[in-house]
């Protein structure tokens, strides 16, 4: 049977079960929890992560894809402990988010790609824990020159390892199209590409265009609605149903972009965020899936989106 690397080692993809495609446990900045440990409540994050994911496991969650990279403060031993003690599989990532290190700004993609490859094939930071996803990010304003270097490095690492790419985008500006163009130029199999945060828009023309290119779509910001000009969770759910109705439910995945600790936000903002989404990793299960059924989605549609599609994406199935 096919396997995929988790933070606890290789697991049979048939055991992935209900999977959230874009999540985090801790979000901070590179090295902060090690160099300035008093700045981040690491132990509190671990305890809360275990509690939240244990509760989610009890309601049916089995796997999260944690797309935290080095510049987002990836803490690989934290993920290992939280997974082991909660029972939830955690798939971790290599790659680079928006805080691209300055040393990469003028680097050749061929000097960065081997770093990602090492974390996929040998393991992360000497732990032996291997990444199974390559994360990249481009936001408002589109792909910057340094962002393009990262995309090309990720493309080359993907081709060398077969591990899929997961992107952060700014959908209102159709940034996913720019990412796809670069991946096409690099010769990447677009079946190995996931264009994330795509439900920050209700422009189904844009989304259908991406899907027809052959990529996967991540409708992975729920509840949403807090960024000006972006839809609330009901609008996002309706967009998902439109894609199902267009016959493309086999190419979409859902997630929250949730984190136990969001260290790049103020404490007040973090408190407001928890009030806004008290369900955390369970918002989709408790709210979105029932709403999809009310809109006419079948249980087969939901199983495809939440179980089959993440598995097929990680396996690289066409």
DSSP string over 193-255: EEE-SGGG---HHHHHHHHHHT-EEEE---S---STT---HHHHHHHHHHHHHTT-GGGEEE-
Identify the pLDDT of residue 102: 97
How would residue 317 be classed by pLDDT, with cut points 50, 70 and 90? confident
Identify the pLDDT of residue 246: 97
Fold entry, domain 3-315: TIM Barrel (3.20.20)
How would residue 291 be classed by pLDDT, with cut points 50, 70 and 90? very high
Identify the pLDDT of residue 318: 75
pTM, two decimal places: 0.97
What residue has token string 């805080």? 99
């Amino acid at each position: 049977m096919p396997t995929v690397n988790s933070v606890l080692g290789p697991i049979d993809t048939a055991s992935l079960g209900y999977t959230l495609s874009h999540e985090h446990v801790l979000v901070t900045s590179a090295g902060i929890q090690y160099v300035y440990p008093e700045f981040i409540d690491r132990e509190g994050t671990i305890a809360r992560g275990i509690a939240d994911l244990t509760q989610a496991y009890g309601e049916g969650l089995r796997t999260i894809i944690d797309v935290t990279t080095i510049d987002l403060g990836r803490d690989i031993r934290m993920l290992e402990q939280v997974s082991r003690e909660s029972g939830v599989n955690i798939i971790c990532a290599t790659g680079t988010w928006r805080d691209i290190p300055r040393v990469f700004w003028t680097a050749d993609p061929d000097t960065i790609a081997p770093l990602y490859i090492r974390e996929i094939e040998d393991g992360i930071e000497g732990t032996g824990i291997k990444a199974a996803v390559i994360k990249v990010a481009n936001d408002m304003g589109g792909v910057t020159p340094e962002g393009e270097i990262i995309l090309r490095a990720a493309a080359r690492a993907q081709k060398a390892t077969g591990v899929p790419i997961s992107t952060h985008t700014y959908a209102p500006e159709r940034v996913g199209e720019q990412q796809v163009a670069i991946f096409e130029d690099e010769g990447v199999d677009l079946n190995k590409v996931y264009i994330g945060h795509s439900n920050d828009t209700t422009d189904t023309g844009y989304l259908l265009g991406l899907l027809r290119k052959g990529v996967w779509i991540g409708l992975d910001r729920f509840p949403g609605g807090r960024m000006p000009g972006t839809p609330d969770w009901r609008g996002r759910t309706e967009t998902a149903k439109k894609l199902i109705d267009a016959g493309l439910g086999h190419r979409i995945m859902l997630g929250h972009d949730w984190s136990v600790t969001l260290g790049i936000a103020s404490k007040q903002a973090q408190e407001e965020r928890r009030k806004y989404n008290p369900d955390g990793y369970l918002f989709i299960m408790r709210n979105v899936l029932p709403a999809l059924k009310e809109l006419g989605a079948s249980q087969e549609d939901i199983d495809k989106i939440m179980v089959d599609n993440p598995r097929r994406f990680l396996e690289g199935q066409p």
